Structure 1
């Protein structure tokens, strides 16, 4: 029965980082991945160029039942540390909006560098191999694998991710292991996901499918100012994906269309310049024509600009600054970029990611109840948590 110091289940960003760090410390490491290829989320991220971190990553960019939990790992291994790693491997990169960093060429450059580091650190990678059962054997762990073989290890690291994008093999495996060993699970749900609406709202949205506009999506005091996209199912785009992590079923969101403009003043000036102009025509100078027409129809503005009083124009502009919408749901894990919730951080040590009451058992990455904003934050949590566990497993 082969014995290893460390077995890591899940060869994604967190698992690979942990395996490399543990191997560098002289630990014998086996990394087990049930898919045919490692790091598939890295490969598809950012349109194939991997949004690998964010310049502005801080603990405030993460959701968790314990908002302080991520501080230790994020402080010990920062975005600047990972940028140094990227530069050390000669991977060219660039910054897009809001501090998002992407590979110039391909996400495969990062995967190749991680696998090269894993090999150099002496780590073993076993693909197309599932873990059937996990049990304790004295102070060690015994794993029964899908190929009929067994493994024992002193340290077992769960880096199996969440439920998002099941077509890539995502499962609730990590949560099952956590429950087996007595850890609690914070309710899981799709995060960074498009929102869906009732049939009546979709009928209004249907002519807008494919239309994008700059806006602010709000839920309570939380707000994100980025692009929004109308789809045949509802709303998507960065602003909507961001707010989806805060929204819960039955709640409203509010949308501010073109927050960069004083639409009241623009419409009032347009009325003075050409009162015979239709309201939607004037509005269409500042947003897509189809959207302008729907918004005018929604509030019931009839007639030309000359027919609108200052009070009506003000009320219309205020409506566009806080357009109330009630999603009925989301597109679910099928399109969700991340899974909210996960292994309760109350049961984990924030510095080592080890289960407090189960020596030698660790949880890192997305399986933990730590979820970042859109824009490279979740990869940074993977690097930080994987690195932190790798120092001690």
Structure 2
């Protein structure tokens, strides 16, 4: 049996951050990773350049059954703290858009930085670790992996959620949580493309067309809008705006898209006065891709000069353009989801330390927890912040 101060299950973003911080505090840490190398999901993120944080990261950018849960960890380890770490390692980066920070080079730099942060004499990373059993024994935790036995007073669940199963993602974190009588908020795919059926299938002919839009999803207090690009696909809708609202969408709810979000309800009526001989598709082509403009004009049924269209019909068309509803029949599932909504219930954990209230010494961090960020570096920031929070508590 190998004795440690901390056992971390998972060498992803949260697990590596936690291990590094704990190791720097002089604790002996074993990190058990079932993949052949650490940080695999980091390596594919941001198109291989890793959108490692967002300078705007705050509690309002996260979804959870408890919207206040993330406040403590995010306040104690901020986006600027991680930027300072990146700078200390001499990694060049740039802001792409909306506060999103990317490596100039490769995501491999972030993984190497995290590994370099782990003191060799205190942190041992074991890859290809097939965990076969986890148990609580006499105030400590025992883990069996590949026939070897590990024991520590502190055990950290950092195995993520089931999104992107081809990367080895599973629901192992939830199995462990249930083993220790922790509630799990039902997980579902998030930051995921939406699929269309019914009459909306006609829009599949626009596959590959992208346009800036305002997308809105969610009912009541969940109603949220994002101004980014939407992409039509052969299955439905994708692109940053759609991935964002997918986290707020629930089955049998419509989403709406404003194709010309700057246009008011009277804009077509006003254009009729200014340009009575212009056709709707001609006007739409000035701001939208030709194929999209033609498809919208066809579906609105206005294929004549504006001067020959009634004001009532133009107002109706303008309102439709500002609130074009789609009824998704599903998502592309965990296979295409960037992250998972749901997970280990925050009601079971301390927001300050990430420790399970029912099981002293048991912690859950990162995507395993019911805290899900927006697209754009927010989920990495939660990994850094929650991993840091746990490491300060051992």
TM-score (norm 2): 0.96
- Which residue of structure 1 aligns with residue 169 of structure 2? 170
Q: Distance in 2 between matches of 1:20 and 1:127?
A: 16
Aligned pairs, number = 390
Which of 216, 219, 226 is 1:218 aligned to? 216
Q: What do residues 311-332 of structure 1 show as CA deviations (whole Å, max 9, x unaligned)?
A: 2222111111011111000000
Q: What do residues 287-342 of structure 1 show as CA deviations (whole Å, max 9, x unaligned)?
A: 01111121122222243323212222221111110111110000000010100000
Is the CA contact (8 Å cut-off) linking 1:268 and 1:313 kept in structure 2?
no
Q: Distance in 2 between matches of 1:299 and 1:282?
A: 14
Q: 1:124 Cα shift? A: 0.4
- Which residue of structure 2 aligns with residue 317 of structure 1? 318
Is the CA contact (8 Å cut-off) linking 1:270 and 1:282 kept in structure 2?
no
Residue aligned with 2:189, SS: strand
Residue aligned with 2:353, SS: coil
Residue aligned with 1:328, SS: strand
Alignment of 1:49-64 (within 5 A): 49-64=49-64
362-371 or 190-199: bigger deviation:
190-199
- Which residue of structure 2 aligns with residue 103 of structure 1? 103
Residue aligned with 2:143, SS: strand
Q: Distance in 2 between matches of 1:40 and 1:2?
A: 26
Q: 1:140 aligned to 2:140?
A: yes
Residue aligned with 2:367, SS: helix
Q: Distance in 1 between matches of 2:289 and 2:107?
A: 34
- Which residue of structure 2 aligns with residue 247 of structure 1? 249
- Which residue of structure 1 aligns with residue 70 of structure 2? 70
Q: What do residues 337-378 of structure 1 show as CA deviations (whole Å, max 9, x unaligned)?
A: 100000001110111100001011000000000000111000
Residue aligned with 1:113, SS: helix
Alignment of 1:81-92 (within 5 A): 81-92=81-92
Gaps of 5+ in 1: none
Q: Distance in 1 between matches of 2:121 and 2:350?
A: 26
Residue aligned with 1:133, SS: strand
Q: 1:265 aligned to 2:263?
A: no
Q: 1:270 Cα shift? A: 6.3
Q: 1:227 aligned to 2:248?
A: no
Residue aligned with 1:359, SS: coil
Q: Distance in 1 between matches of 2:276 and 2:26?
A: 77
- Which residue of structure 2 aligns with residue 333 of structure 1? 334
Residue aligned with 2:144, SS: strand
Is the CA contact (8 Å cut-off) linking 1:267 and 1:283 kept in structure 2?
no
Residue aligned with 1:346, SS: helix
- Which residue of structure 1 aligns with residue 378 of structure 2? 377
Q: Distance in 1 between matches of 2:310 and 2:191?
A: 41
Indicate the RMSD between aligned Cα atoms, in angstroms.
Answer: 1.5
Is the CA contact (8 Å cut-off) linking 2:268 and 2:314 kept in structure 1?
no
Which of 240, 258, 268 is 1:256 aligned to? 258
- Which residue of structure 2 aligns with residue 361 of structure 1? 362
74-83 or 252-261: bigger deviation:
252-261
- Which residue of structure 2 aligns with residue 35 of structure 1? 35
- Which residue of structure 2 aligns with residue 182 of structure 1? 181
Residue aligned with 2:102, SS: strand
Q: Distance in 2 between matches of 1:144 and 1:251?
A: 45
Residue aligned with 1:98, SS: coil
Counterparts in 2 of 1:44 and 1:267: CA distance versus 1, 3 Å? farther
Residue aligned with 1:85, SS: helix
Is the CA contact (8 Å cut-off) linking 2:252 and 2:329 kept in structure 1?
yes
Q: Distance in 2 between matches of 1:264 and 1:114?
A: 55
Residue aligned with 1:47, SS: helix
Q: 1:130 Cα shift? A: 1.6
